[in-house]
C-alpha cells in the first residue's frame, strides 16, 4: 500500500510539473521593413490584398500606432541595432552605418571585421561580423535563457540588416553578395555554407527575375496614390518608365535586383528555406528568425515615397508577407509563433515633389560643402583635410591635423560654426560638447544625446531644416533626421501571446526588445533602456 501511495504521489508530481511547464511560442520572427514610414500602413490599405500580410497583421494582431525612434541619426544600422537591443546608439555603439572612429583614426563600417573571411563567394563582402555592437540583442538573451539550445538566424540583403539583429551568439546570419548574386556569410559563423544555401544559390533566382522584368502589378491608372511615372526628380536605375526591361543585367549586374520588389521576394523565399531546412520552430525550445526586407529602402532612395515604384513595391511586399505567414502556419503551426514587424527608419518625400506642391523642401549637398570647407580651412590654417568625416550630420576634425596647426580645436570649431550658420538649409549648428547648453526642444536634444557615442562621434553637429535632406544626388530622397517622416515607424504584433487591438499611446523603438523579453520570460538585453508594452501581451 505504501509503495502504491508513493507511486501515485510521484506520478502526480510529474504530471503537475509538465502542466506547469513555461509556455513560450515555438518561433519568434522579427521583421524589419527598411525605410517603411508608418503611414504606408494606411496610404495603401485599400489596395492591400485581403489575404495579404499587412491586413492580417493589422486586423488580427496589435498595432502600436505611435511608435517613435528616440535618437538620431535615423539610419539603417542604428535602427536594426536599437530594435533588437532595446537601447540607443549612445549605449550599443552603432552610431551610424559608418563613423570616424577615434580609436583607430579612420572611418569604420558598422559590421566590418577584417579578422573573418567570406563564406560562399570569393569576394570581400563577407568580411563582416557583429563585433562593433557593444551589447547583447534579444536573440542573444534567448540563447542565454535556453543554455544555447535555441537556434537564431538573421537574414537580409544588407549585411547590417542580417548581422546586427541576430546578435553575437547567432547560429548564422546571411546576406546578399551583389557582386555574384548569391547569399553568403562569414567565418564568424561557419566554415562553409549549408547544402540548402548552396542549393538555393544554384537556382540563379536573380537571373530569372531579370528575365521576367518589372512591370506594374495592376493597371497604371489604378496607382492614384502616386505621382505620374517619369518624374524628373526620380532616379532612373533601369530606364525612364514602366515596364522595366531587366534582361540586359542577366549574368552581369547582380546589384540591380535590390532596387526591385523581387529583392524582397528573394529574401522571403530564402527565409522560408531557412525555416524548413534548419527546422526553426520544430524543437522543444523557442527559436528566433530575424528578417529584414531591404529593397523598400533602395526603391525609396531612388524613386521616393510618392512614386509608382514605391506603391508597387508595397503591394507586392504585402503579397510576399501574406505568403510568408501562410508558410509559418503550415510549418510551425497557426498560433504557435509570434511575429513583430517594424522599420529601422522612415523617409522624407523628394524635395522637388514637395516644392512642386508648394511645400517646404530642399537638398543640402553636405559632401560638396565639406570639400569647400576644407579648402577654406586650408587657406586659413594652412592644413589639408582638417575635416575627415561628415557622417551622421556631424563634422569631425582630424586631431593630428588640428595639433599641427597650433590652433586650439575650440577656435577651429568656432570658425566652422560661424561659417555653417550661413548655409540656408541648416537650422542649427553647434559644438557637440555644448549640446546640453544649446536652446533646443527637449525631444530633439534627447534624440541627439541618445545618438552620440563619444569615440564614434563628431565635433560639430548640424540639424537641417524640416523638409531638407542631405543631397547625395539630384534625384530621389533619403532619411536620417529627428523629424516624424524619419522617426515615426510602424509596429505590428501578431500570433502567440499577442492581443488583438490598437493603441495610439506613444511607445519607442527601444520598447520592442523588452516586450519580447516579457513575452518569453527572459532577461532584457544588456544595454536595454526600454520598457515592455504591456497592452500588447495577453
In this predicted model, what pLDDT tens digit does every residue of 166-188 receive, in sequence order?
999 999 999 999 999 999 999 99
Beta-carbon contacts of 126 under 8 Å, excluding residues fewer than 6 positions away, are 116, 117, 118, 119, 120, 177, 184, 185, 186
**512 and 530 in contact (C-beta within 8 Å)?**
yes
Residues 6+ apart with CB under 8 A from 516: 28, 30, 138, 338, 340
pLDDT value of residue 8: 46
Q: Which of 378, 380, 399 is nearest to 388 (CA)?
A: 399
79 sits in which H/E element: helix 76-85
Looking at the DSSP bridge assignments, the partners of residue 182 are 177
The pLDDT tens digits of the residues spanning 414-462 come to 999 999 999 999 999 999 999 999 999 999 999 999 999 999 999 999 9
Which residue ranges make up each domain of the chain? 27-355+484-536, 362-466
Encode pLDDT of 111-164 as tens digits.
999 999 999 999 999 999 999 999 999 999 999 999 999 999 999 999 999 999
Task: Return the percentage of the chain with pLDDT > 70, whole number.
Answer: 96
In the CATH hierarchy, which fold is given to the domain comprising 362-466? Gyrase A; domain 2 (3.30.1360)
Ramachandran sector of residue 230 (left: φ over 0; alpha: ψ -120 to 50; beta: rest): left
| Residue 76 among the catalytic residues | yes
Please report the pLDDT score of residue 241 as a whole number. 87
Which tens digits make up the pLDDT trace of 249-303? 999 999 999 999 999 999 999 999 999 999 999 999 999 999 999 999 999 999 9
Q: Which residue has the cell 541627439?
A: 448
Domains 27-355+484-536 and 362-466 equal at CATH topology level: no
Residue tagged active-site, from 72, 76, 87, 478: 76
Cβ proximity of 345 and 69 under 8 Å = yes
Residue 277 and residue 331 in contact, taking contact as beta carbons nearer than 8 Å: no
Q: Does residue 73 have a cis peptide bond before it, meaning omega lies within 30 degrees of 0?
A: yes
Distance set, CA 251 to CA 65, 177, 208, 398 (Å): 43, 14, 10, 43
DSSP H/E element including 395 = strand 394-397
Confidence of residue 524 (pLDDT cuts 50, 70, 90): very high
The helix/strand/coil state of 99 is strand
Cα angle 74, 448, 358 (rounded to 5 degrees) comes to 60
Q: Is the pLDDT confidence value at 3 over 70?
A: no
Strands (E), 260-361: 287-293, 337-342
pLDDT in the model for residue 230: 85
Q: Which CATH class is domain 27-355+484-536?
A: alpha beta
φ, ψ dihedrals at 502, nearest 5°: -155, 145
Would you say 347 and 478 are in contact if contact means Cβ atoms under 8 Å apart? Answer: yes
- Comparing C-alpha atoms, which of 33, 62, 20, 53 is closest to residue 501? 62
Annotate 205-234 with b (16+ C-beta within 10 A) or e (fewer).
bbbebbeeebebbeeeeebebbbebebebb
Rounded Cα gap, residues 125 and 258, in angstroms: 15
pTM of the shown model: 0.95
How far is Cα 191 from Cα 188, in angstroms, rounded to an integer? Answer: 8
| Rg of the Cα atoms in the chain | 24
CB atoms within 10 A of CB 397: 22
Taking the C-alpha atoms of residue 382 and residue 404, their distance in angstroms, rounded to an integer, is 9
pLDDT for res 6: 46
Per-residue model confidence (pLDDT) at position 15: 43
pLDDT at residue 58 tops 50:
yes
Tell me how crowded residue 280 is: count the other CB atoms within 10 A of its CB.
27
Helix (H, G, I), strand (E, B) or coil at 403: helix
Coil, helix or strand at residue 107: strand
Among 194-203, 238-247, 505-514, which stretch is predicted with the lowest mean pLDDT? Answer: 238-247
16 Cβ partners below 8 Å, 6+ apart?
Answer: none
Cα distances (angstroms) measured from residue 512 to each of 265, 448, 499, 532: 25, 21, 15, 7
Residue count (the chain) = 538
3-state secondary structure of 178: coil
* Of residues 42, 69, 71, 39, the one with CA closest to residue 506: 69
Cα–chain-centroid distance for residue 268?
16
Give the residue ranges of DSSP H helices in 395-494: 399-405, 409-420, 442-450, 484-487
* Mean pLDDT rounded to a whole number for the chain: 95
Amino acid at each position: 500500500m505504501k509503495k502504491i501511495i508513493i507511486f501515485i504521489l510521484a506520478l502526480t508530481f510529474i504530471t503537475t510539473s509538465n502542466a506547469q511547464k513555461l509556455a513560450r511560442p515555438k518561433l519568434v520572427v522579427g521583421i524589419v521593413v527598411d525605410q517603411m514610414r508608418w503611414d504606408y500602413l494606411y496610404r495603401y490599405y485599400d489596395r492591400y490584398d485581403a489575404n495579404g500580410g499587412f491586413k492580417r497583421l493589422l486586423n488580427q494582431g496589435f498595432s502600436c500606432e505611435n511608435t517613435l525612434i528616440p535618437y538620431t541619426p535615423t539610419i539603417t544600422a542604428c535602427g536594426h541595432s536599437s530594435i533588437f537591443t532595446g537601447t540607443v546608439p549612445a549605449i550599443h555603439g552603432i552610431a551610424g552605418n559608418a563613423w570616424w572612429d577615434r580609436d583607430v583614426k579612420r572611418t569604420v563600417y558598422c559590421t566590418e571585421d577584417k579578422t573573418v573571411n567570406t563564406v560562399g563567394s570569393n569576394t570581400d563582402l563577407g568580411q563582416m561580423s557583429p563585433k562593433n555592437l557593444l551589447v547583447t540583442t534579444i536573440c542573444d538573451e534567448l540563447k542565454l535563457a535556453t543554455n544555447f539550445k535555441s537556434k537564431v538566424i538573421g537574414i537580409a540583403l544588407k549585411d547590417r540588416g542580417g548581422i546586427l539583429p541576430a546578435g553575437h551568439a547567432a547560429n548564422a546570419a546571411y546576406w546578399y553578395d551583389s557582386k555574384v548574386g548569391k547569399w553568403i556569410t562569414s567565418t564568424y559563423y561557419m566554415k562553409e555554407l549549408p547544402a540548402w544555401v548552396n542549393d538555393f544559390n544554384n537556382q540563379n533566382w536573380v537571373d530569372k527575375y531579370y528575365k521576367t522584368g518589372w512591370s506594374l502589378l495592376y493597371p497604371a491608372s489604378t496607382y492614384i496614390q502616386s505621382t505620374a511615372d517619369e518624374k524628373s526628380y526620380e532616379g532612373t536605375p533601369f530606364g525612364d518608365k514602366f515596364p522595366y526591361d531587366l534582361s540586359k543585367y542577366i549574368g552581369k549586374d547582380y546589384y540591380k535586383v535590390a532596387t526591385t520588389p523581387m529583392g524582397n521576394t528573394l529574401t522571403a523565399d530564402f527565409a522560408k528555406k531557412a525555416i524548413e531546412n534548419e527546422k526553426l520552430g520544430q524543437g522543444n525550445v523557442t527559436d528566433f528568425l530575424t528578417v529584414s526586407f531591404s529593397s523598400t529602402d533602395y526603391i525609396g532612395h531612388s524613386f521616393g515615397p510618392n512614386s509608382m515604384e514605391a506603391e508597387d513595391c508595397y503591394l507586392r511586399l504585402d503579397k510576399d508577407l501574406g505568403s510568408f505567414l501562410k508558410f509559418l502556419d503550415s510549418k510551425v503551426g497557426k498560433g504557435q509563433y509570434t511575429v513583430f514587424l517594424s522599420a529601422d527608419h522612415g523617409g522624407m518625400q523628394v524635395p522637388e515633389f514637395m516644392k512642386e506642391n508648394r511645400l517646404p523642401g530642399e537638398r543640402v549637398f553636405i559632401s560638396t560643402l565639406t570639400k569647400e570647407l576644407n579648402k577654406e580651412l586650408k587657406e586659413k590654417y594652412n592644413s589639408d583635410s582638417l575635416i575627415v568625416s561628415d557622417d551622421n550630420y556631424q563634422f569631425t576634425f582630424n586631431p593630428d591635423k588640428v595639433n599641427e596647426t597650433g590652433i586650439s580645436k575650440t577656435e577651429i570649431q568656432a570658425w566652422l560654426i560661424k561659417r555653417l550658420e550661413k548655409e540656408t538649409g541648416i537650422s542649427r549648428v553647434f559644438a557637440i560638447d555644448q549640446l546640453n547648453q544649446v536652446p533646443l526642444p527637449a525631444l530633439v536634444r534627447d534624440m541627439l544625446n541618445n545618438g552620440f557615442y563619444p569615440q564614434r562621434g563628431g565635433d560639430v553637429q548640424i540639424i537641417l531644416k524640416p523638409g531638407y535632406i542631405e543631397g547625395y544626388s539630384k534625384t530621389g530622397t533619403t532619411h536620417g533626421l529627428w523629424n516624424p517622416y524619419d522617426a515615426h515607424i510602424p509596429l505590428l504584433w501578431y500570433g502567440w501571446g499577442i492581443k488583438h487591438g490598437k493603441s495610439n499611446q506613444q511607445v519607442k523603438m527601444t520598447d520592442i526588445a523588452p516586450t519580447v523579453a516579457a513575452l518569453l520570460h527572459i532577461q532584457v538585453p544588456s544595454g536595454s533602456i526600454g520598457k515592455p508594452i504591456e497592452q500588447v501581451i495577453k
